[in-house]
Copies of this chain bind each other. A is one copy, B any other.
Amino acid sequence: MRMSEGVEWAVHSCLILAWVEDRGPVPTARLASRYDLPAPYLNKQLQALGRAGIVTSIPGPKGGFRLARRPERITMMDIVAAIEGPDEAFRCTEIRQRGSAGDITMRALRRPCSVASAMRTAELAWRRALAAQTLADVMTETERQLPEAGDRVRRWFDRS
C-alpha cells in the first residue's frame, strides 16, 4: 500500500505557494524547477489541488497557482484526499457472502462485516491525524528546523 509521490509534490508545492503568497501566483514551470520535478506531471497534481479547492489557477501571462485559502485552513487530509481520492484503503468486497459462506442470514448482513469495521477504525484514526495537521503547522515545524526556510523560498522566487 503506497501513497503516490504526487502527495509529496503537492504538499511541498503548497508550502512554496504559502511562503510566496504576497508575491502573486506561481507558474507550474517555476514550481517544478524548484524541486527539479517533471512539469507536466506536477501540473496534474496542481490541477487536482485546484479541483479540491486548495489552490486557484490564475490565467494570463502573470498567472499561475496560488492557495485558495489560508494555510491554517488547509489540512494534510485535504491534500492527501485531493491527490489520492476519497476511497478508503481497505475495500470490503463482502467475501462473507461468497461461496459456501453465502448462507449468512439477512439480519447479519444489515451490519458491516466486522473485518471491514476493524479496518475502518484504523482508517478513521489515520484520517483524524491528517485532518489535525494544517499546512500552517507544517510551515511552523519547517521554520522551527530551518528558521530561514520561508526567506529562502522568497529569495529564490524573487531571483528566478
Contact = CB atoms under 8 A, between A and B. Distances in A.
Given A111-B145, A138-B118, A95 B35 contact: yes
B76 A119 contact: yes
Given A7-B90, A125-B126, 19 more contacts: A1-B1, A1-B89, A2-B91, A3-B91, A3-B119, A33-B99, A33-B100, A35-B96, A35-B98, A35-B99, A36-B95, A36-B100, A76-B122, A107-B146, A108-B145, A111-B145, A118-B141, A121-B133, A126-B129
6 contacts: A11-B118, A15-B115, A114-B145, A118-B133, A124-B129, A126-B129
Contacts of A126: 122-123, 125-126, 129
